[in-house]
Amino acid sequence: MSKPSDTTAQSRSRLGALLVSPALVLLAAVIGYPIVAALVTSFRTDPTLRDGFFTTGGEFAGFSNYLHWLGQQCGDTSCPPGTLGDQFWTSVLVTLFFTVVTVSLEVLLGLLMAIVMNQAFAGRGLLRAVVLVPWAIPTAVTAKLWFFMFAYDGIVNRALGTHILWTDDAWSARVAVIVSDVWKTTPFVALLLLAGMSGIPGALYEAARIDGASTFQSFLQITLPLIRSALLVAIVFRVLDVLRIYDLPAILTHGGGGDGHATTTLSILTVRQIQQGYGGASALSTLTFVLIFGVALALVRVFRVNLVQSEQHGMS
């Protein structure tokens, strides 16, 4: 079969570009314009909003909006405690704390759930369907459900025999958010890992048993290496999700707890700032984007190196 001529290839390329151009234009209007507008606004004093678009109001402010949030400049004085830079760094720490704890728990519990669901037993299909229920429930509904469960006279206190104000104390409010998020999203991680386990040939485990390998050794030497890709995808997805978390803590604890900032994530702080001024909110959203982009880039590079090394090790 002969290869297509250069003219045919060029015509196909032009046709492909023509077909995807409407989607590109739509993406530029829906995604590109807001990003550019937010970036421009972050370097200006607060503009006014008209018909959903920023007007030319507001003066050029340089990096003052960024310096305000980073705590390096608050007018002519340093930032007082609990404002501006202090709020920003507190929300960064809260967001990173939620990310590390929830993703770690979800990966561990999701791996255990995937191992159980990968076994052959009666009712396995029903179990897999039931596991999807928490993930299928809207996040707002999940947050309200756990809000009632963590109430002073709710199910949690009754079951534990405690009298804890879960959504009012700083650390108990964080625990409430972590438990709610882990309950909802662990099934997502479990299903991703289960998909990876389902593709492992049973002959590998049979050969390992013949060689005298224990179940734990088979897990370490066969299961973990072969689900590495699914595991890394689950980690990246969940890390990016938690870094942008808003609705769960906003509804469950109103972004407060204890000192009023115990569960205030970067997304919650950004929404609050929008009510006070678009210039500062745009700078804050840009800083949030830079943080998420940096973490995503680091994860992709580290995991890509790990995948390449594992593939080279498997070929050697």
Query: How far, in Å, CA of 243 to CA of 288, rounded?
Result: 9
Check if the beta carbon of residue 117 is closer than 8 Å to that of residue 131: yes
Residue 162 backbone phi and psi in degrees, to 5: -115, 170
Q: Are strands 49-50 and 53-54 parallel, antiparallel or unpaired?
A: antiparallel
Give the domains, in start order, of the chain with CATH numbers. 6-70 (no CATH), 85-315 (1.10.3720.10)
Which is nearest to 199 in space by CA: 225, 178, 162, 181? 225
pLDDT in tens, 77-110: 444 444 445 788 889 999 999 999 999 999 999 9
Q: pTM value?
A: 0.80
Q: What is the DSSP letter of 63?
A: T
Check if the beta carbon of residue 202 is closer than 8 Å to that of residue 120: no
Least confident of 10-19, 137-146, 254-263: 254-263
Higher-confidence residue: 223 or 181?
Answer: 181
pLDDT at 149 over 90: yes
Residues 114-133 have a mean pLDDT of 83
Least confident of 17-26, 40-49, 132-141, 238-247: 40-49
Query: How far, in Å, CA of 65 to CA of 67, rounded?
Result: 5
Q: What is the mean pLDDT of the chain?
A: 82
Q: What is the pLDDT of residue 178?
A: 95
pLDDT in tens, 71-84: 744 444 444 444 44
Q: What is the pLDDT of residue 81?
A: 44
pLDDT at 39 over 80: yes
* Structure tokens, 95: 């967001």
Q: What is the pLDDT of residue 310?
A: 54
Q: Count other C-beta atoms under 10 Å from residue 220's C-beta.
A: 12
CA dist 78 → 71, 72, 282, 290 (Å): 7, 7, 22, 24
Q: For residue 184, name the pLDDT band (cuts at 50, 70, 90).
A: very high
**Beta partners for residue 54, in sequence order:** 49
Residue entry with tokens 């997304």 = 267
Residue entry with tokens 């804050």 = 284
Q: What is the pLDDT of residue 55?
A: 54
Higher-confidence residue: 311 or 188?
Answer: 188
Which is nearest to 134 in space by CA: 263, 262, 248, 249? 248
pLDDT at 258 over 60: yes
Check if the beta carbon of residue 47 is closer than 8 Å to that of residue 278: yes
Q: For residue 229, name the pLDDT band (cuts at 50, 70, 90).
A: confident
Please state at what angle helix 85-117 crosses helix 228-243, rounded to 10 degrees.
150
Residues 43-66 have a mean pLDDT of 69
